[in-house]
Structure 1
Amino acid sequence: MKQIHSDIIQFRGSHYDYGRHQGELLKGSLLLPNRRKQWPPSNKNFMINEQEATSILQTFAPRIWEEINGLADALEWNAHDAIREFGGYYLEYTRSGCSIFTREDFMVRNYDSSPQGYEGRFALYQPSDGGYATIGPTMQITGRTDGLNEKGLAMGYNFINRRNSGDGFICNMIGRLILENCADADEAVALLEELPHRRSFSYVLLDRNGKSIVVEASPRSVVSRESAVSTNHFDLLTEENRYQIEDSRRREEVILSQQDTMAEPYSAFRMLNDSDKGVFSKKYTTASGTLHTASYFPASLKVGFALGQDRLPLMLDFKKWLDGERLNAKRVKGRVDTHLPFAHMTEM
């Protein structure tokens, strides 16, 4: 078992200042040097059209654009490198697994991916220059793997396919845009229909009204359906699925067969986080091992978060934080059964 952690980052202020703050924190981190070793600028899959990316960011994410500028200034990077690293547009990232279950009053989500790409950052951000306050784990610094906003909208996503990609935002930036800009599931669906999508992903939404929607989004089409369970295949846009979706359907069936016993959130958390229940994954070498389990409560604005298997969630009161209280916790600690290094903890 490898001991791991996620740093809890708390900030209130403008997006530019938030970017500068993150840049200062990243100066002493292993994360960016490790990422450059994994994905050097010469890698053709990471090349971007700077002018195109700038235009699309300024159109759909002008506040995130300010955040990127703050990161660039703090790190003393040029615009091209900052957009490439933090822009969440037209980039290549590893595939992932993931399982999500919702009830009217909570969402529980396993984030499955590779340890080598995990950032170990859990962010609470309350902007002063527009956009909703958010809480959740980061990806590509500016993006989010899942999360909750001040309006009680929870979001998580599931990887579907890399094939037949298009020009557009990748999943983590889309997650951030949903949380910062949408008050409920209907607004999120409308945004997902408007945004350009790089890859095929399902976006699971749960709002304060108890509305649970799965949006199937590809570069070619965006459709939505009501559902309480989502894994790694489309039910409507089946032509976009991978050839092998057996494990995705297996996890879906495990959750569906147990959903009547998961009426309360702790039992649902245990179903996804316990290593003997059939949903938690240890497939870290294929970029589909469970790294964290998160639970989101739209009405109370509480969040539960755990790293690794068979853990009790650390409970965080986002509402109290929004009211001005500062969290005392600085890190979430856990254990993961893998020999692979984590990008924020070990020099690669």
Structure 2
Amino acid sequence: MKQVYTDIFQYRGSHYDFGYQQGEWLKHSPILSKREKQLGSKKERHFKIDQDQVISAIKTFIPGVLEEIYGLADALEMNMEEALREFGGYYLEYGKSGCSIFTGKDYLIRNYDSHPVSYEGRYMLYQPTDGGYATLGPAMQITGRMDGMNEKGLVMGYNFVHRKKGEDGFICNMIGRIILETCANVEEGIQVLKELPHRHSFNYVLLDSTGKRVVVEASPRSVSYRKSNISTNHFELITEENRYRTDESRERKMNILSKGEELEDGYQAFRMMNDSDQGVFSSKYDAWAGTLHTAAYFPEDMKAAFAIGADRYPVIFDFSKWLKGERVNVKKVKGQLEPDIPFLNMHE
């Protein structure tokens, strides 16, 4: 078992200042240097961008993040093309992964399944002062969000479906950031998902403070949505976009469905997703489908829970208190994983 951890960062201020501060944090982190070594020659092939096109797309959907990237570039002494390639969330390749999401009327529980070698180990609480909603959730590729909740009680998580027939567009974690920072409810989230360009095919699960919950199936060619409380790694509406084999994804969904009928509250739902004997938590790390974190969001109470690894008691974040100015005292969330591989944020 490997001891791993996620660092907790919190910031209130403008997007540019937030970006600059993140750049200062990254100077003391191995994340960027490790990623550079991992990508090697692939970087030039997969990270090609049209700078004007990327800037235009970010300005259209989340202009604050462009200022954040300027701040990152200045702190890290990068030119803008390099910063957009690293942090712009547009055109980038995305490794395959698993993931399962289960929602109730007042909670969303999400297992993020991938490989430790790509996991940044950064959980962000950010309250912008120059526009956009305050958010919390785990970060991916610095500026993106894997799942999270905003100050309006909108919750978002996503599930990988496939990368075939990719087109120019935003990748999943930047789309997650756009939804959380610019949308107040499920309807607004659906509309944004219909309007923005998608690089790959993903399910986006949305839950808001009214209890409305949907699964939005989004590919570069089509976007549809359905009312459902379970999402894994296949489409049920735009089935022509599915991978050839979806057996494991469908089996996981049926397992969640059968167990979910007996659940009484969000804590029981968390245990179903996080306990290693429930058949949902995955140890398939070699296939980039092992569970790295289990996240839970409760929009009515404005609280979030987060755990790394299986069979854990989660760390609870009271987002309502944080929004009123209180600081989170937790600096790290620690856990254990089966493979002997550190996260990107660890100096090993």
TM-score, normalised to structure 1, is 0.98
User: Could you tell me whether the CA contact under 8 Å between 1:88 and 1:170 is conserved in 2?
Assistant: yes
1:21-170 correspondence to structure 2 within 5 Å: 21-40=21-40, 42-170=43-171
Cα drift, residue 175 of structure 1 = 0.2
1:173-192 correspondence to structure 2 within 5 Å: 173-192=174-193
Cα drift, residue 346 of structure 1 = 4.4
Structure 2, unaligned stretches of length 5 or more?
none
Structure 1, unaligned stretches of length 5 or more?
none
**How many residue pairs were aligned?**
347
Q: Determine the structure 2 residue equivalent to 1:292.
A: 293
User: Could you tell me whether the CA contact under 8 Å between 1:231 and 1:251 is conserved in 2?
Assistant: yes
| AA of the residue aligned to 2:40 | P
State the alpha-carbon separation in 2 of the partners of residues 28 and 315 from structure 1.
27
State the alpha-carbon separation in 2 of the partners of residues 342 and 265 from structure 1.
28
State the alpha-carbon separation in 1 of the partners of residues 151 and 280 from structure 2.
29
State the alpha-carbon separation in 2 of the partners of residues 15 and 342 from structure 1.
26
Cα drift, residue 344 of structure 1 = 1.5
User: Could you tell me whether the CA contact under 8 Å between 1:273 and 1:279 is conserved in 2?
Assistant: yes
Cα drift, residue 246 of structure 1 = 1.1
State the alpha-carbon separation in 2 of the partners of residues 21 and 171 from structure 1.
24
User: Could you tell me whether the CA contact under 8 Å between 1:261 and 1:267 is conserved in 2?
Assistant: no
User: Could you tell me whether the CA contact under 8 Å between 2:109 and 2:270 is conserved in 1?
Assistant: yes
Q: Determine the structure 2 residue equivalent to 1:276.
A: 277
| AA of the residue aligned to 1:191 | V
SS at match of 1:335: strand
State the alpha-carbon separation in 2 of the partners of residues 43 and 34 from structure 1.
16
Q: Determine the structure 1 residue equivalent to 2:312.
A: 311
State the alpha-carbon separation in 1 of the partners of residues 73 and 286 from structure 2.
33
User: Could you tell me whether the CA contact under 8 Å between 1:109 and 1:272 is conserved in 2?
Assistant: yes
State the alpha-carbon separation in 2 of the partners of residues 165 and 186 from structure 1.
26
Q: Determine the structure 2 residue equivalent to 1:209.
A: 210
TM-score, normalised to structure 2, is 0.98
Cα drift, residue 45 of structure 1 = 1.4
Cα drift, residue 104 of structure 1 = 0.4
| AA of the residue aligned to 2:293 | H
User: Could you tell me whether the CA contact under 8 Å between 1:103 and 1:263 is conserved in 2?
Assistant: no
Mean Cα deviation higher: 32-41 or 313-322: 32-41
Cα drift, residue 266 of structure 1 = 1.0
State the alpha-carbon separation in 1 of the partners of residues 6 and 343 from structure 2.
11
User: Could you tell me whether the CA contact under 8 Å between 2:29 and 2:347 is conserved in 1?
Assistant: no
Q: Aligned-residue CA RMSD in angstroms?
A: 0.9
User: Could you tell me whether the CA contact under 8 Å between 1:39 and 1:46 is conserved in 2?
Assistant: no
SS at match of 1:300: coil
